[in-house]
Amino acid sequence: MKLQRKNRLRALSLGAVALTGALTLTACGSDDTTGGASGDTGAKTPAAGSIDCGDAKGQLLADGSSAQKNAIDAWVKQYQSVCKDVVINYKGSGSGAGITAFTQGQVAFAGSDSALKPEEVTASKEICSDGQGIDLPMVGGPIAVGYNVPGVDSLVLDAKTLALIFDSKITNWNDKAIAALNPDAELPDLKIQAFHRSDESGTTDNFTKYLIAAAPDNWKYEGGKAWQAKGGQSAQGSSGVAQGVKETKGAISYMELSYAKDGISTVDVKTDAAEPVKATVENATKAISEAQVVGTGKDLALKLNYKPSAEGAYPITLVTYEIVCDKGNKADTLPATKSFLTYIASEDGQALLSEAGYAPMPEEIITKVRTTISELS
């Protein structure tokens, strides 16, 4: 175990050096997610090292963002291996469903890929005694554009072309606009099957915010969690659209990077930089590091930059927030809520994200998150 800890610290140190910039990220080294308590000695795996169960016990219900579901699952596995008196049930029904469940008092916290709207903050005051719901940025990452086009292993698209595809104005894969961006590709005469989310989704909100910012002349919709463009096919959750792409020739959709696997190729996005940018955790980190905290008080809502021009900065990113009451959390779930959130915001908790296909929060931001969690009541 000492050797594991030594190796892990060395990896974290190297990761910190590699990612030093305007905002330094927490360690991006990854840890083994399969461990837990080690025998009866009380020793823990490195990823579980910062877990303090305190008085946590009972069942903790949560719901929301499906984009962060894979991260939550990894965290819960580690947390419950140590805090055996707590059972965490995170549904991952989508950001809209999570916020609704939170404002109705059905869950201890919610996950959302979009910050609370003013009317949602107002609604939260009904269940947060003498307080309100606040946004805690916890998970970052790229929104990958996955596609299934036989014979095309590499594909470059820009914001304008993506807008026209998802607005059903480019309908075939050998369209001249796609061909111009991919002169070396053998594009088939194949109908485009564009999938979008059927549920209210923060991933949809962030994807359309990118289209609005980067292709305003071609995407005339106002944006939001609900899909507004006409045409295309719909599916529930990130897993649903990913499955649609995997099973449908000619398909394309947007999804959190961790869902773009098992044979799903991802688009390289052309920006103002010299080279198209791949959807990777590292490239998303370069864009997220430019985010600004725009929330007031204890709320830590961020404003993302959807038009980065730096080399290697991936423009279609999201940040998932854990939404919780700043004051007035239910007494029976507050200890478990604080304990779990403290762990996932810790250095060890954030270190799990890279392995799961997500980006840790910049140190300057996650430090504020940790302070805010410690003050929850």
For the chain, percent of residues with pLDDT exceeding 70: 87
**Mean pLDDT (whole number) for 312-337:** 96
pLDDT recorded at residue 47: 56
Half-sphere exposure of 364 (CA within 13 A, CB side): 12
* β pairing state of 251-256 and 193-197: parallel
Q: Which of 13-22, 99-108, 212-221 has the lowest mean pLDDT?
A: 13-22
pLDDT of 38: 30
- Min mean pLDDT across 185-189, 277-281, 305-309, 343-347 is at 305-309
Rounded to whole angstroms, how far apart are CA atoms 219 and 79? 43
Mean pLDDT of the chain: 87
Structure-block tokens of residue 132: 């309100």
pLDDT at residue 120 above 90?
yes
Q: Is the pLDDT score of 28 beyond 70?
A: no
The single residue listed with the structure tokens 């419950």 is 80
**Is residue 317 within 8 Å of residue 302, measured between CB atoms?**
no
Instruction: Say if residues 188 and 204 touch (Cβ distance below 8 Å).
Output: no
Cα distance between residue 350 and residue 198, in whole Å: 30
pLDDT of residue 137: 97
Comparing C-alpha atoms, which of 307, 309, 295, 293 is closest to residue 361? 293
| pLDDT value at residue 48 | 62
Give pLDDT, residue 278. 97
Which segments of the chain are extended strands (E)?
37-38, 43-44, 58-64, 86-90, 109-112, 133-148, 156-158, 193-197, 233-235, 251-256, 265-266, 268-270, 292-293, 302-303, 317-325
Across 160-167, average pLDDT: 98
Does residue 12 surpass a pLDDT of 50?
no
Q: Are 204 and 197 in contact (CB under 8 A)?
A: yes
pLDDT tens for each residue of 357-377: 898 998 889 999 999 999 999
Query: Tell me, what's the pLDDT at 252?
Result: 98
Average pLDDT over residues 201-227: 95
Q: What mean pLDDT do residues 197-214 have?
A: 94
pLDDT confidence of residue 286:
87
**pLDDT (tens digit per residue) in 63-112:** 999 889 999 999 999 999 999 999 999 999 999 999 999 999 999 999 99
Q: Per this entry, what is the length of the chain?
A: 377
Residue 16 has pLDDT above 90, yes or no: no
Using CA atoms, how far apart are residues 142 and 146, in angstroms rounded to an integer? 12
pLDDT more than 90, % of the chain: 77
Mean pLDDT for the stretch of residues 293-315: 93
**273-299 pLDDT, tens per residue?**
999 999 999 899 888 888 899 999 999
Structure tokens that stand for 128 in this block: 């947060």
Secondary structure class of 318 (helix, strand, coil): strand
What tens digit of pLDDT does each residue of 228-285 get?
999 999 999 999 999 999 999 999 999 999 899 888 999 999 999 999 999 999 899 8
Residue-level pLDDT at 5: 40
pTM: 0.75
CA distances from 41 to 38, 45, 82 (A): 6, 12, 12
Q: From the centroid of its chain, how far is CA 236?
A: 17
Q: How many C-alpha atoms does 177 have within 13 Å on its Cβ side?
A: 13
